[in-house]
Structure 1
């Protein structure tokens, strides 16, 4: 029996995650505010924080994240070109886009509605006496007209270099359509892009084998520096956001999946474990995109022609986890500052957050910019964001896991409705598992 059969990828990631958390706590205890503390090993004086936390842990985690992000642009462009040019009826692209964007907006609206209801029920900001002197600077969100202008690239190469996903998606779709309409020349080019797609997915598989190490470094660094004192002071807020995230990720998605596709939610959630763990450890939907794409196509049975469109678009505009944070944060900040919001205000929060999930997709610090827009819309002080920044890092990890799960859920529904779905693959418990490991022996 080989090592790969003994321990699956999910188990290795979980073990690495737990080990990283324990090591992080251990180093937090060792350092305990003494940044210059030194450890003597074989006669060498090694500064704990500089050598381990800011050195090994930081470097290992950053290399892992950079390796994942390295794949995002080529994966999105090549997969989307392949998917678009393979559409038998190019006019169906509008229907596909309408379904996908519509579902993402609906799930975002449900997410923030659920968050507001839970926050009003619990009242996380009632009785909280917190005065923040922290300065909070946030970039100004672009106007709606500028948002639409920015969707279309003037220089697609520059868009790829800067990682502007909406512009890359638009260019890839147009390029794929042109290939589909170019006859023999398009067919020859399509064959090359298909081969490129296979090579990129194999590269994803190679990196998945290194994931446990990257996850360990990320967790060790995070939990060495995480301040739990802040979490204690915001326990109610933290708990409400976390519970709503879990409910939306497990219950809301399961109900929507069952109602709109008839698929078994338990099978779906079980097969999403790896991608969700990646999302949790990286806190980035874009960095997790290669793993999400692999899961959706190889384990869940969605054809590449659908997944290559729905997954990149979801990683760009699907903000369910962020919407939940915004809903709870809005209620929390209103209660802390003793500002009463009307039913109309809450409806405006739902509408603003839902539409802003597309409008601010390409803006750095998207979650905080969206929250600032929402707060301004209902007359709440933007400075209130400084109250919750301390616990946002840990919640951001869970938000990303929820977003990634939502991307895959919408992909399954759209794939099933477009008859671009392999039910046998979805129901096969071993589907895609053999693709998670690579035998390096034949390379010798």
Structure 2
């Protein structure tokens, strides 16, 4: 019976369309919202449940599978190069889109007064004011958590990754039976987590329907009216990066068809879109990259957990676009030097505040402060932030998977050497 169902990505796509329709038709139904919120939270909890054991086991087995310590530095250098290149191109795409269409200008005048500020601006300002610089400085403290169990409870991914790298590195230096025991244990944990992930993903269409349906029902079209041009610019820039820039990089640097890779990663992209969380999508990303793209567990287990924490193409693009839009709305004519500063800050903050709640809002506050704009400007984008958050998360996740394929090719692997359709189990 299950074999007759469409592939998983088609199930999720169908659920996405049905969720949008249901959200508009049942926007005033308290029962629909209550049921959708419950099912959506249940699905998110199931994904969150997988994060800590999957990250730790994937990092451990990745380190234990590396042939030599030098491989760690080589993979790290390639990942760093990929993050810098892909994120810089993303920011440039966002900057060009905002400068071309000028969404912050209406009839030749700054749009600030016309747009007004969202009602919850005061709360957002209170949340980000004074926290921006402290949160960035706190990144280094979170790299070495005082209590690794506490870091696991709070899902502090950066601390977990650093600890897992250290543990895995020194475990790989053990001799004889001790190393073999570590390898078998962590390999077993990793295989178990993949099986649990497969079970959770059977219910992904239901979770996607609930999450997106509730979002559409709560948001509606009214919030988009005054900000349609800005929304269109950012959405267009994200799609341009997703459908043109990243596939081109995969083709040139990885020797793989960009369309083929995009199609293979569709379950991960749709999950990222519905959950708005790179971390929650990590189990699906690992599954897609290994089963569909044929990237080895050692490479994907190293690249994807780190990428989900620090490689934020979509977030950097959004931060740059939002800062420039707010500057236009306040009538500030930014020089090329100021725009270059925005670009550099978007690059740095997209990496630095990735683990902070409301990360993009904090990062945008940092950028606004650097170019002399009030933090209240964040209120201009609140109405469309949720939907754009879903879109930029999908771009973040796709950028991670592209990096995994490119780095795997650099390591001598042959992604997509086998037919991804036969290699993947859609778990349907």
Task: With the length of structure 1 as denominator, give the TM-score of the two structures.
Answer: 0.90
Task: Determine the structure 2 residue equivalent to 1:66.
Answer: 45
Matched, 1:180 2:172: yes
- The CA distance in 2 between the partners of 1:240 and 1:423, in whole Å, is 34
- The CA distance in 2 between the partners of 1:52 and 1:297, in whole Å, is 37
Unaligned runs of 5+ in 1: 32-47, 438-444
Q: How does 1:161-240 map to 2 (within 5 A)?
A: 161-183=153-175, 184-240=177-233
Q: How does 1:229-308 map to 2 (within 5 A)?
A: 229-308=222-301
In the TM superposition, residue 381 of structure 1 has moved relative to its aligned partner by 1.9
In the TM superposition, residue 145 of structure 1 has moved relative to its aligned partner by 5.1
Task: Determine the structure 1 residue equivalent to 2:386.
Answer: 393
Comparing 221-230 with 279-288, greater Cα deviation is found at 221-230
Q: Residue 362 of structure 1 aligns to a residue in which SS? A: coil
In the TM superposition, residue 102 of structure 1 has moved relative to its aligned partner by 2.3
Contact residue 111 and residue 248 of structure 1 kept, 8 A: yes
- The CA distance in 1 between the partners of 2:356 and 2:133, in whole Å, is 8
In the TM superposition, residue 11 of structure 1 has moved relative to its aligned partner by 1.7
Task: Determine the structure 2 residue equivalent to 1:138.
Answer: 127
In the TM superposition, residue 25 of structure 1 has moved relative to its aligned partner by 1.1
RCO comparison, higher one (Cα < 8 Å, 6+) = 2
Contact residue 306 and residue 420 of structure 1 kept, 8 A: no
Q: How does 1:309-324 map to 2 (within 5 A)?
A: 309-324=302-317
Contact residue 289 and residue 315 of structure 1 kept, 8 A: yes
In the TM superposition, residue 149 of structure 1 has moved relative to its aligned partner by 3.4
Q: Mark the CA change 1:93 to 1:138 in structure 2 (over 3 Å): closer, same or farther.
A: same
Q: How does 1:107-118 map to 2 (within 5 A)?
A: 107-118=86-97
In the TM superposition, residue 83 of structure 1 has moved relative to its aligned partner by 0.4
Q: Residue 154 of structure 1 aligns to a residue in which SS? A: coil
Contact residue 301 and residue 421 of structure 1 kept, 8 A: yes
- The CA distance in 1 between the partners of 2:68 and 2:2, in whole Å, is 46
Q: Deviations over 1:43-68 (max 9, x none)?
A: xxxxx41x331x21111100001100
Contact residue 109 and residue 354 of structure 1 kept, 8 A: yes
- The CA distance in 2 between the partners of 1:70 and 1:287, in whole Å, is 9
Matched, 1:344 2:343: no
In the TM superposition, residue 141 of structure 1 has moved relative to its aligned partner by 2.4
Task: Determine the structure 1 residue equivalent to 2:358.
Answer: 365
Contact residue 238 and residue 392 of structure 2 kept, 8 A: yes
- The CA distance in 1 between the partners of 2:269 and 2:137, in whole Å, is 35
Bigger Rg, structure 1 or 2: 1
Unaligned runs of 5+ in 2: none
- The CA distance in 2 between the partners of 1:380 and 1:227, in whole Å, is 30
- The CA distance in 2 between the partners of 1:384 and 1:279, in whole Å, is 27
Task: Determine the structure 2 residue equivalent to 1:80.
Answer: 59
- The CA distance in 1 between the partners of 2:388 and 2:355, in whole Å, is 21
> Pick from 426, 431, 436: which aligns with 2:427?
436
Q: Deviations over 1:55-90 (max 9, x none)?
A: 211111000011001101110000100000111111
In the TM superposition, residue 216 of structure 1 has moved relative to its aligned partner by 1.3
Contact residue 292 and residue 416 of structure 2 kept, 8 A: no
In the TM superposition, residue 192 of structure 1 has moved relative to its aligned partner by 1.4
Contact residue 142 and residue 360 of structure 1 kept, 8 A: no
Task: Determine the structure 2 residue equivalent to 1:122.
Answer: 101
- The CA distance in 2 between the partners of 1:323 and 1:358, in whole Å, is 8
Task: Determine the structure 2 residue equivalent to 1:20.
Answer: 19
